[in-house]
A and B are shown apart, each in its own frame.
Chain A
Amino acid sequence: MPRFALAIPAWAWLVTFFVAPVAMVVWFSFGYKPGIFGTHANDVLSFDRYLEALSPTFFTTFLNTLWIGLAGTALCLVIGLPVAYWMAVKAPPSRRGLLLALVMVPFWTNFLVRTIGWQVILAPEGWLSTLLQGVGVIDGPLDILYTRTAVLIGVVYNYLPLMILPLYVAFDRVGNPLREASKDLGAGKWRTFARVTLPLARPGVIAGVLLVFIPLMGDYITATVLGGAKGNMVGQLVASQFQTAQNWALGSAMAVLLILVIMVTVALGALVVWLATLPFRSRNRLVLGEPPSTRAAPAAPSGADSAADTAPAAADRVPEEVAS
């Protein structure tokens, strides 16, 4: 019996219902739409659908999606980082379980329903609009719903828990001893945060950014509920090609392009971050000791990032920080 025998059913299931369909979509993307009633044909293969998908009509939507993706991820990071730090470091340990549970509740509320909640809040005739008009912040009814701003609010809201949770885990792992050591060695709290806590929490930042950016780019529901005509995203474009326009070839090309855009952006982002932090990393080198053998095997190894696994070891031993 081969070693992977038990994984064969899952493998077969995923190949049949994930790999094969996606491969078919890639195949469709090289075809064309034959006439009004056909959805796709592949007797002539070309890259024409990709050119069509990048024509000015659709290209603005791709740019729009990328803008929302980048701005949304950045906002999630800026909003989520202090919260995660507060939960993991400042809040009393006895309340952390409760706070975590509170972050999970929105995460597990139906995506569509909580987005509808925002539609109710942002509606021109809604109570927020009435309140703001009553206070005198705005003159007319609130004019946010069905714009790009509404979509941005929606995606930041929808994906914020996915940013907070990995950041919390990362901050939690850094542990108090290291921060105290940094303080004992004369560093102020800002310096401790910038030179000890944040560098050690880097795997969490990376995980959070990826967990937010990737699904956000493919989001379909938020833009449908809050975006209207002005806040279009690629997800809707793909859906409409399959559902209303019945042009499966073009829709497939858009879907493939969407995946490519996500992959290229993540790769470029990684490169930029790597280059930008180069001077910091050469100045701020961590020398971590081997994890002591007395430490029990961790109950749930992350496996996500090798750097993540060195973090708990670091909590047991004060590393010597070499700064030049």
Chain B
Amino acid sequence: MKRSWSDVALSVWGVLVFLFLFAPIIVIIVSAFNTGRLLVAWDGFGFDGFIALLAKPAIRDAVWVSVQTGAIAALVATVLGTLAGIAMARHPGKWVFWFIGLLLLVSVTPEIVDAVALLPWLVFLGQDLGLALFSDGVVRLVVGHSLFATAVVSYIVRARLVGLDAQLEEASSDLYAKPLTTFRRVTLPLAMPAVLAGFLLSFTLSLDNTVIAAFVQVSGTTPWPVYVLSALRSGLRPEIASVSTIMLVLTLVALGLVAFVLRRAGDSATQIARTMTGN
């Protein structure tokens, strides 16, 4: 069968848009191997940028701060979000409406508003109330990064459990399991794929968070994206692209794991895509 011109046009458009989507990423990956002094000007091929990760303590520290806060923020968001998601799915009531309203509010508020609001708030908690904890750089970053991630984990866990029948839990309590045992042995394993996916998503969200991090960070604990943002003013060097390429690979590995976990749990490609965009 001959393909109609509209089908051909659609395919061409599709390919063009995919090229558009990948253009800057390819540029960054290519620039990672630039040996010149400036990111924009190509000089020669080499691995100088990657060596900078080892040679420059500022870059090394920034990456380490990012990974560290990413892991802690993901842990906080996963614990809070999983509990909330289970509550929404298994103990529904009028309260769920209000709670989802709060989560929606968290998701749609522009990041810059969160950022400018958190800065004075953390200063207030840390200095005016004397809670020294909130003057710690890592704590501040974790707080800032965990907000949106908590909402995302809550959605994912709720969606997974709503789709599964509560009969198993009822059976468990009929067999005289205590509520805590049922939770630990039945509910949590059922929710596990969503919990793992939520953890990894929170980790990557935190790794990428720039706006909130730029406001709440304390000098000394600068995460990687904020380092890049400040490099923007002082001149971008190829090492920025090199480290970003490494971070991209890290993110893609984490996301590949998410897809793998969800696939094993029986989700279709479309469902995986929905979960991974948080809706």
Q: Which residues of A contact B (CB under 8 A)?
A: 3-7, 9-11, 13-14, 17-22, 24-25, 28, 39-40, 79-80, 82-83, 85-87, 90-91, 96-97, 99-121, 123, 125-127, 157, 160-162, 165-166, 168-169, 172, 189, 207, 211, 214-215, 217-221, 224-225, 235, 238-239, 242-243, 248, 251-252, 255, 258-259, 262, 297-304
Question: A86 — which chain B residues lie within 8 A by C-beta?
Answer: 10-11, 13-14
Question: Nearest CB to that of B236 among chain A residues?
Answer: A116
**A105 and B25 contacting across the interface, CB-CB below 8 Å:** yes
With A3-B91, A112-B210, A157-B24 in contact, do A96 and B121 touch (Cβ < 8 Å)? no
With A105-B25, A161-B21, A169-B270 in contact, do A21 and B118 touch (Cβ < 8 Å)? yes
Interface of B is mostly: helix
Q: Which residues of B contact A (CB under 8 A)?
A: 4, 6-7, 10-11, 13-14, 17-18, 20-25, 27-28, 31, 39-42, 76, 79-81, 83-84, 86-88, 91-93, 95-96, 99, 102-103, 105-106, 108-121, 124, 143-144, 146-147, 150-151, 154, 159-160, 162-163, 165, 204, 207-208, 210-211, 215, 225, 228-229, 232, 236, 240-241, 244, 247-248, 251-252, 255, 259, 266-267, 269-277, 279
> Complex: how many Å from CA A264 to CA B158?
30
With A10-B150, A101-B259 in contact, do A24 and B117 touch (Cβ < 8 Å)? yes
The 9 sampled A-B contact pairs (Cβ below 8 Å) are A17-B118, A18-B106, A110-B208, A166-B277, A211-B279, A215-B111, A224-B232, A235-B110, A301-B159
Contacts A114-B28, A214-B110, A301-B162 supplied; 6 other A-B pairs, CB < 8 Å:
A6-B83, A6-B91, A7-B83, A40-B120, A111-B208, A112-B208
Question: A225 — which chain B residues lie within 8 A by C-beta?
Answer: 232
**A300 and B11 contacting across the interface, CB-CB below 8 Å:** no
Question: A20 — which chain B residues lie within 8 A by C-beta?
Answer: 121
**A100 and B14 contacting across the interface, CB-CB below 8 Å:** no
**B228 and A113 contacting across the interface, CB-CB below 8 Å:** yes
Interface centre among A39, A110, A111, A297 (most CB of B within 10 A): A110
Q: Across chains A and B, which 4 residue pairs bring their CB atoms closest together, nearest first?
A: A218-B110, A117-B24, A6-B87, A21-B117
Question: Nearest CB to that of B103 among chain A residues?
Answer: A14
Interface centre among A113, A127, A214, A242 (most CB of B within 10 A): A113
**A120 and B91 contacting across the interface, CB-CB below 8 Å:** no
Q: Looking at the complex, which one of B10, B11, B20 makes contact with A157 (CB distance below 8 Å)?
A: B20
Question: A104 — which chain B residues lie within 8 A by C-beta?
Answer: 255, 273, 276-277
